[in-house]
Amino acid sequence: MKILVINGPNLNMLGIREPDIYGKTTYAALVALIEEYAQKTNIEVEQYQSNHEGDLVDKIQDAYGKFDGIVINPGAYTHTSVAILDALKAVAIPAVEVHISEVDKREKFRQISYVRLACVATITGHGVDGYTEAMDLLREKYEG
């Protein structure tokens, strides 16, 4: 199966940004970890990161007909973007929302997620392991 992993704004700063909240794993290390897990579990994976909302929408649209699942951490756009929600709904590819931190226990504004409405599951607060857990969930769903 083919999975697209999408990271939104500031996730390229992992390891540097607020390590108490997001941990010490760098974005490059996260990419390597996902790639290694994909190889081990026989998943074809593509990874994408952007700080720009429209680019994230474009990437989701481009996934139409090409991917069997999407793992998405939209960063701060989680809490604001109807455009990303609509793109996920448009392509109708099973998507899992991932957050490194436990967003539901943080500020009120982080407890709102628009993208969640288009996702089959949400994983929060499991650190970077949440990404591979999301891949497992998508595979289980794909294999039925």
Give the binding site for ligand DQA (CB under 6 A). 10, 73, 75-76, 78, 99-101, 103, 110
Task: Indicate the residue among 28 and 39 with the shorter CB distance to ligand DQA.
Answer: 28
Place of tokens 């994408």: 48
Task: Indicate the residue among 2 and 79 with the shorter CB distance to ligand DQA.
Answer: 79
Count of beta carbons in the 10 Å neighbourhood of residue 61: 11
115/78 Cα distance (integer angstroms) = 6
Question: Is 114 considered catalytic here?
Answer: no
Name the active-site residue from 22, 27, 114, 131: 22
Closest separation in Å from C-beta 109 to ligand DQA = 8
Question: Is 79 considered catalytic here?
Answer: no
| Strand ranges across the sheet with 69-73 | 44-49, 2-7, 69-73, 95-99, 121-124
Tokens of 30: 């996260």
Task: Indicate the residue among 76 and 91 with the shorter CB distance to ligand DQA.
Answer: 76
Q: Which residues are catalytic?
A: 22, 99
